[in-house]
């Protein structure tokens, strides 16, 4: 039996070469022989599998593209960002942490808007003579200019409280040239009274242009509690400017003259007269 095991584990030994054995193998011999053949073929197959696996890995490595200069290799199918800003110098964005900060764009300054008639919605909102003018960050200036001729200059200006204000823009765009021989009668209907800076400029213009007569009717008083505002209005009145708050009749007149009203009549809001009296008393106290 020991000789039989030796023969089966030795692939170079045939059963017929074992002493005392006949050429015809027994059932046990055939069983051990098949087990030995299976083991041998299993070893060959495993070696072939390993070779196929190695060949596939080598082909996969050949297909991988090396990372470009300044670029990190892919990790889990995603490219990592290049550190220290080595790439993307002209991308126009700066990365801060996980977010991106877009490049700031310089916006153009607000421009003075001129026109013939105001939108009715804007008029009712901007000219409403409420005490607290929240959200009303514009100045609307409706003007009439009489230069002694048969026709009047009529229109309106609108600003955004940025750059030149409507009062200053009037003398730059509507009446840029001054003729001392001509008399100018100018009437303004404003959504709010001039600020301190505009009051100072208007005072200088009236002192320099003796033939200009300016009347300002305002729907609201702008920051009337501020000392510099009060001083500016006083100086403006002393230079010959007529200052008065808008009455309900003034709102009706401006609605008919400067607003796209589609032939609709103006209906004053409930406290229009009361607010006029409130502001007129404040203005009288300032100018006394």
d(CA 112, CA 135): 19
Instruction: Kindly list the catalytic residues.
Output: 167
Could you tell me where the DSSP H helices lie in 171-271?
196-208, 227-238, 248-258
Nearest to 166 by CA among 216, 130, 98, 224: 216
Interatomic CA distance for residues 24 and 7, integer angstroms = 15
d(CA 105, CA 185): 44
Site of tokens 């100045």: 139
What are the helix (H) ranges across the chain? 2-9, 27-63, 120-126, 166-169, 196-208, 227-238, 248-258, 272-287
Residue carrying the six token digits 């095991």: 5
* Residue at token pair 């409706």: 142
Q: Give the dihedral sign, CA 95/100/106/110.
A: negative
Cβ contacts of 131 within 8 Å, gap of 6 or more: 275, 278
User: 222 by DSSP, 3-state: which?
Assistant: coil
């Amino acid at each position: 039996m020991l000789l039989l095991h030796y023969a089966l584990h030795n692939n170079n030994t045939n059963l017929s070469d074992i002493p005392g054995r006949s050429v015809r193998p027994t059932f046990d011999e055939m069983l051990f022989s098949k087990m030995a053949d299976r083991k041998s073929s299993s070893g060959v197959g495993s070696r072939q599998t390993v070779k196929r696996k190695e060949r596939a890995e080598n082909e996969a490595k050949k297909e991988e593209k090396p990372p470009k200069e300044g670029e990190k290799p892919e990790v889990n199918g995603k490219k990592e960002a290049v550190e220290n800003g080595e790439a993307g110098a002209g991308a126009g964005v700066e990365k801060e942490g996980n977010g991106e900060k877009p490049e700031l764009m310089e916006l153009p300054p607000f421009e003075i808007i001129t026109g013939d008639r105001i939108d009715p919605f804007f008029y009712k909102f901007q000219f409403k003579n409420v005490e607290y003018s929240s959200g009303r960050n514009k100045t609307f200036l409706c003007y009439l200019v009489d230069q002694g001729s048969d026709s009047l200059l009529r229109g309106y200006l609108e600003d955004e409280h940025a750059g030149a204000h409507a009062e200053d823009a009037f003398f730059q765009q509507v009446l840029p040239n001054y003729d001392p021989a001509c008399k100018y009668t100018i009437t303004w209907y404003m959504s709010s009274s001039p600020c301190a800076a505009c009051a100072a400029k208007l005072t200088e213009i009236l002192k320099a242009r003796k033939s200009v007569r300016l009347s300002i009717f305002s729907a609201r008083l702008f920051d009337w509690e501020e000392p510099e505002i009060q001083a500016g209005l006083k100086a403006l009145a002393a230079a010959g400017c007529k200052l008065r708050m808008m009455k309900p009749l003034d709102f009706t007149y401006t609605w008919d003259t400067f607003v796209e009203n589609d032939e609709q009549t103006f209906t004053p809001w409930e406290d229009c007269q009361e607010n006029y009296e409130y502001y007129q008393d404040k203005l009288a106290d300032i100018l006394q």
